[in-house]
Amino acid sequence: MNISQAIAASGTTSERDMANAIRFLAMDAVQTANSGHPGMPMGMADVATVLFNRFISIDPSMPDWADRDRFVLSAGHGSMLIYAIHHLVGYSDMTMDQLRNFRQWGSKTPGHPEYGHTLGVETTTGPLGQGITTAVGMALGEEMMAARFGRKLVDHFTYVIAGDGCLQEGISHEAIDLAGHLKLKKLIVLWDDNEISIDGATSLSTSMNQPMRFKAAGWDVQKVDGHDPEAVAAAIETARKSARPSLIACRTTIGKGAPTMQGSHKTHGAPLGKEEIAGAREALGWPHEPFAVPAGIKSAWESVANRGLAARKQWQERHAAARNAAAFDRTLSGELPESVFRKLAAFRKEHLEKATKVATRQASQMALEVINGATTLTIGGSADLTGSNLTQTSQTESIRPKRFKGRYVHYGIREHAMAAVMNGLALHGGFIPYGGTFLVFSDYARGGMRLSALMQQGVVYVLTHDSIGLGEDGPTHQPVEHLAMLRATPNINVYRPADIIETAECWELALRDRSTPSVLALSRQGLPMLRESGSSENLSARGGYVLHQPKGKRDVTLLATGSEVEIARKAAEQLLDLNGISAAVVSMPCWEKFAAQDQGYRDEVLGTAPRIAVEAAARMGWDRWIGPEGAFVGMDGFGASAPAAELYEHFGITAERVAGLALELTGRAGA
Amino acid sequence: MNISQAIAASGTTSERDMANAIRFLAMDAVQTANSGHPGMPMGMADVATVLFNRFISIDPSMPDWADRDRFVLSAGHGSMLIYAIHHLVGYSDMTMDQLRNFRQWGSKTPGHPEYGHTLGVETTTGPLGQGITTAVGMALGEEMMAARFGRKLVDHFTYVIAGDGCLQEGISHEAIDLAGHLKLKKLIVLWDDNEISIDGATSLSTSMNQPMRFKAAGWDVQKVDGHDPEAVAAAIETARKSARPSLIACRTTIGKGAPTMQGSHKTHGAPLGKEEIAGAREALGWPHEPFAVPAGIKSAWESVANRGLAARKQWQERHAAARNAAAFDRTLSGELPESVFRKLAAFRKEHLEKATKVATRQASQMALEVINGATTLTIGGSADLTGSNLTQTSQTESIRPKRFKGRYVHYGIREHAMAAVMNGLALHGGFIPYGGTFLVFSDYARGGMRLSALMQQGVVYVLTHDSIGLGEDGPTHQPVEHLAMLRATPNINVYRPADIIETAECWELALRDRSTPSVLALSRQGLPMLRESGSSENLSARGGYVLHQPKGKRDVTLLATGSEVEIARKAAEQLLDLNGISAAVVSMPCWEKFAAQDQGYRDEVLGTAPRIAVEAAARMGWDRWIGPEGAFVGMDGFGASAPAAELYEHFGITAERVAGLALELTGRAGA
């Protein structure tokens, strides 16, 4: 008899009863809410019961215990599965009233599980494929922390329940390819293989041999009857011993237990109806009222928590005895040493004096060299554009299969997975991940980036080649709408620094904001240093500031970001030299931070003179800053393939054009 | 001796010479441009030569011949491969000067191949994975046209050259799963298996067994030495006979022919340098000047064109003799019968009289029932949300493997592939595809949607559940920034209709715009009919219009879209009833169309009274319409899980709040 059989045999309550408790809580909660997804919790109740009852090590009384197993419900619509289990094992926030308030305002039981909102929810899921990919990040984080601190402190599994939807989404390919490559052996995915999706049978849209697909990616694969607890347990036992990530294909019946509807897509996303639920009570021998769980069954579930509590205490003993406990705790806290910021300030001072001229992508690498030297928390990476994004530094050795001490992830040509894996690393704890691609390919990463924002994870997106300034690669590679898209997204700070000084400042701000993801939009092309003041203040922290204040009264204010600040600065010079017009130049590296300043500061920066904004991107959003009388110089369509300087000419994003508009706005056009 | 061997043996110029012509044109053009990607054209020159020399049927003198083979360079960065071939086979626009002007402003040779810009380029590629997925749409289109018009008129292959990048991107999973499922037997993918990506060896980031992966998806798979013409030819012969889509893994050496650099990632994305190119000339025995191709080699390439010309003429004879030629031509033209618009107008009249109250997603389905009954061009589909998007109608039978007469594609849980496959269907010709998912999941489809816009393909995105109005599914499913993101994208019309009348109007506009993709953002929740005028004019065509004009002078103007127009209308009623304030209500279903109106019309609609905008989305962009004194009622963060009505209350998007702001703006707050 192995451990899991011993556990299974020890209780008087059967796992069948424990699973039925999930089923009825799910059915009744969805019925009460009159919306939700009962089919998946019912279908996977047996698998989840075995997983939690025999294997998972969590302590509901300390949900953030560092060495807990991570459980990710990738099929997030089946949220009642996790809520029911959390209630049964005794998470303090998951009272029966919360289940009664499923999907209601202010409840701990939203439609899809939300990280930070409900105790023990490891990551927000719902957008399909995100969970399994974020779990790859968590499993990678586990290996990396273990490589740093040893298996006495770090030794946990990452379990995922994924549905057909997760495995059809493209991001799942990126996830399993990367996980198989890196041999993330402690990642175990339980696939709810119920052959049903929303439209009907999965045979409507797929003929994929999933086991073969996962084998091709280097995974171990097993197939079991998802309603046979011993088979499920044996498969999990085997998977835990594997040297590779594991897929367990669990053949299940969706809505298992619904007498007339089980096996049908009709159980997927709507209440079953009172009659069907009454029938289920009869069929499964569950005479209990809605939201009532017999004490014996509740107590069987609580033994899961008791086992976890004991494991947690044992771990705390190991932790107390570990020489590296303090370092472990410090790393896990994610707190940056103050020296990072001190050294960044010194870096700024040095380059302010030198007036260093570099592309902001290169400035970013120079700043990273400082940052990565001052902390080991930062984990770099790129979606196969390392030499273009300039994201690797002398300290960040590449991570390779089974070699996890490194600090640089070759994410491959997988922007979407990069975003979600970075989320997983951040959620695991112990890391501040940053990753690079071209700004235009934030399109591919959108799904994961939105979750960074929603989950308040301070990951950093290093998005280079941020405009037509990338030149010859042409319109497919030239972002136009992407700054607007990212600025419109709640809880993302979009930085577009103008020179090496602002780049270092923006990196500092990105590192300080641990609950807001940051985008650094960086130039491919070289840029001069523009900062005029010798002050050590981080001016980018205000989001926008007067970079150049003319002598005397302002006639016009030129607003710009990134590579276009140079153009605005040149226009100001021309206006003064040729026309005697005083133009202020305002650099706006971060709209979000500028919008957060008080009205007085903003009014002072923006001034009362006519305003012209210059940004090699879509106008969307600029009207807020330039007002109805203002002008905008930027893109009103897609880019083109040509050397950068010619593109700026052809699209009219030039100092001459800005100066000409300034003459018009100040009524001096004919002068 | 089979056909391809016969062709190979017939010339005196060897395919090796023909391939070297590609190699040197690529090397020299990249060197001259001082940017570009020589490695792939050099590595795949042998494969491409065999493909074109022995198989591909195209007629450069008639690039849009309907039954041509489609060739898709999914690895679009290797654009010099296609430009070199196009020059050699004699496309009229691809002169040697164009090759000399590679990547220069105004040339036919942009950095990545662009559809509509260069003759014979079937689709824009560069963003990796788009090409192979668009090709799935083309191959599907071929089967569908063949099912409708027979193999005498429709019998061509779709060939793809894809690199490691394409196969690492998630979208490739969605593509090959769908293609394998549908058994698209005339799709042949030649994989440039060179084991190199930008960062270095592919072993840095992947251990995928690609052949096994494609087999798992139901593809036929072969492996060949990509520098052995007979092996490549034999594999293509076999693939052409397969009953399934085919992958041919071509093991190649990147930069083949560069004496010291071949096989290295350094040949991927930068000029080789003059010395290396001189060495290549020596090594490959190519004594010719840059941009000089010996007549014999040119003439060997021209025989490809001659073979295509003959095939095209034979096809034209078949076409002339075909009874269904006129119907075929009409379908291929994509021109909608006027009856579609007549019937939509009648539909509007009917529901204006009935004052039909439905969710706009349901109104969309009702309009589609009319549209799909009046034309067979429309091809519906959904990313597994058919019952939610309401995209299927009585006329659109589902397409199934090997059964291509249907008009509805079950795209599966694959939003990204849906977008690219729709692009492929549209590019193939003969179809007007529309496809549904939730608005929030436009995040997943962004890459493909951007290419719809860039390629000017009038596909229609039916994006339902367009705000917090979807209710209990919560913030992961509630779009906030997506309207701004799509509005910021060039050449997309974003429609957000307010009622059944506007929905029908917007569908009409979407169908009329054949070179601009459309987004229909539609409500989950029921909405009243709001149109006040009994006129038959399509008011949505102006983008924004005065829905409700108060008697007397306007005190305030309320701007809104979609489901929030009802709120604005209620606020106007309250303001009149309780405060005697005259509020105009402006519905703005399409910003792009409104922005395109003349200033006079816009000024008239927006008026001079204070303005308040109401939209359950991010503010980004609204400042343009409300001005600096205006107010905005909408979302300033993510949504939440609760019934829709409660969410509107909690986020303050209510008639009461709008009315309260109107009182403030009109100085009547204390009144």
Note the pLDDT tens digit of each residue in A171-227.
999 999 999 999 999 999 999 999 999 999 999 999 999 999 999 999 999 999 999
Nearby residues of A231 by Cβ (< 8 Å), 6 or more positions away: A224, A225
pLDDT, tens only, B52-81: 999 999 999 999 999 999 999 999 999 999
Token readout for A580 is: 């005697």
Chain A residue closest in CA terms to B198:
A384
Burial B89-101 (b: 16+ CB within 10 A, else e): bbbeebeeebbbb
pLDDT tens-digit series, residues B623-632: 999 998 899 9
For residues B342 and B406, give the distance between their C-alpha atoms in angstroms, rounded to a whole number: 25
Strands (E) across A344-395 are located at 378-382
Which pLDDT value is given to residue A670? 67
A215–B contact, CB cutoff 8 A: yes
Would the pLDDT of A8 be above 50? no
Q: Which two tokens stand for residue B668?
A: 């009547």
**pLDDT at residue B8 is higher than 50:** no
List, for residues B337-381, the tens digit of each pLDDT value: 999 999 999 999 999 999 999 999 999 999 999 999 999 999 999
> How confident is the model at residue B200, as a pLDDT?
94
Interface of B with A in 452-491 (CB under 8 A): 453-454, 471-477, 480-481, 484-485, 487-491
Rg for chain A (alpha carbons), in Å?
A: 28
Encoding tokens for residue B33? 């441009």
pLDDT digits (tens, 9 = 90+) for B207-247: 999 999 999 999 999 999 999 999 999 999 999 999 999 99
Alpha-carbon distance B198 to nearest alpha carbon in chain A (angstroms): 6
**From B215, B487, B489, residue closest to A212, measured CB to CB:** B215
pLDDT, residue A13, reads 75
Nearest to A180 among B207, B621, B647 (CB): B207
Tell me the C-alpha to C-alpha distance, in Å, between residue A354 and each of A345, A373, B56. Answer: 14, 22, 59
- Catalytic, A415? Answer yes
pLDDT bracket for residue A15 (50, 70, 90): very high
Residue with tokens 């040297």: A243
| pLDDT band at residue B670 under the 50/70/90 scheme | low
- Cβ(A416)–Cβ(A174) below 8 Å: yes
Q: Please return the burial class of A658, using the count of CB atoms within 10 Å of its CB with bins 0-12, 13-18 and 19+.
A: buried
**pLDDT interval class at A12 (50, 70, 90):** low
CA-nearest of A110, A637, A406, A351 to B477 is A110
Confidence bin at B1 (pLDDT 50/70/90): very low
Who wins on pLDDT, B419 or B3?
Answer: B419
Query: A484–B484: do the CB atoms touch at under 8 Å?
Result: yes
Average confidence (pLDDT) over A642-658: 98
Residue B447 confidence (pLDDT)? 98
Residue B7 predicted with pLDDT over 60: no
CB contact under 8 A, A443 and B446: yes
pLDDT at position B442, please?
98
The larger pLDDT score, comparing residue A532 to residue B255, is at: B255
Residue of chain A whose Cα is closest to the Cα of B451:
A476
pLDDT at residue B534 in the model = 83
Q: What residues in A contact B103, CB-CB < 8 Å?
A: 472, 474, 641-643
Q: Provide mean pLDDT across the span B446-472.
A: 98
Distance from C-alpha of B154 to C-alpha of B148, rounded to nearest angstrom: 9
The reply to whether A59 touches chain B by the CB within 8 Å rule is no
By Cβ distance, the residue of B112, B216, B413 closest to A197 is: B413
Going by the DSSP 8-state scheme, the letter that residue B472 receives in this structure is: T
| pLDDT for res B2 | 52
- Taking only the tens place, the pLDDT of each residue in A421-459 is 999 999 999 999 999 999 999 999 999 999 999 999 999
How high does pLDDT run on average in chain A?
A: 96
* Cβ atoms B612, B665 nearer than 8 A: yes
Backbone phi and psi for residue A177, each to the nearest 5 degrees, phi listed first:
-65, -50
Tell whether the model's pLDDT for residue A331 goes beyond 70: yes
Rounded to an integer, the average pLDDT of A615-624 is 98
Q: Best mutation site among B102, B385, B423, B443 for testing chain A: the one with the most A CBs within 10 Å?
A: B443
Q: pLDDT band for position A1 (50/70/90)?
A: very low
Mean pLDDT of chain B: 96
- Say what the pTM is: 0.97
Euclidean distance between CA atoms B251 and B43, whole angstroms: 9
Q: What is the pLDDT of residues A381-405, one digit of tens each?
A: 999 999 999 999 999 999 999 899 9
Residue B652 φ/ψ, nearest 5 degrees: 70, 30
Q: Which two tokens stand for residue A61?
A: 């009384």
**Residues of A with CB below 8 A from B652's CB?**
none
pLDDT given at position B332: 97
Average pLDDT over residues A50-70: 98
Section B520-535 average pLDDT: 95
Cα(B278)–Cα(B272) distance, integer angstroms: 10
Q: What span, in angstroms and rounded, lies between the C-alpha atoms of A670 and A660?
A: 10
Residue type, B466: D
Residue in A125, A209, A636 nearest the CB of B216: A209
Provide mean pLDDT across the span A154-175. Answer: 98
**pLDDT the model gives residue B299:** 97
Residue B12, pLDDT score? 57
Residues of B assigned a catalytic role: 415
Q: Which residue of B has its CA nearest to A79?
A: B473
Catalytic residue among A415, A508, A566, A592: A415
Compute the distance between CA of residue B329 and CA of residue B315 in angstroms, rounded to an integer. 13
* Mean pLDDT across A597-623: 98
Token pair 């709001």 is found at B530
Q: Scan residues 403-432 of A and list those with Cβ closer than 8 Å to B.
A: 410-414, 416-417
- What three-state secondary structure class fits B539? helix
Of residues A486, A381, A394, the one with CA closest to residue A425: A381
The answer, yes or no, to whether residue A591 has pLDDT greater than 60, is yes
Q: What is the pLDDT of residue A533?
A: 84
ipTM above threshold 0.95: yes
Contact A488 B481 (CB under 8 A): yes
Cβ–Cβ below 8 Å for B111 and A172: no
Q: Is A257 left (phi over 0), alpha (psi -120 to 50) or beta?
A: left
Contact B387 A198 (CB under 8 A): yes
- Spatial distance between the Cα atoms of A154 and A134, rounded to a whole number of angstroms: 19
Number of helices (H), then strands (E), belonging to chain A: the values are 26, 18
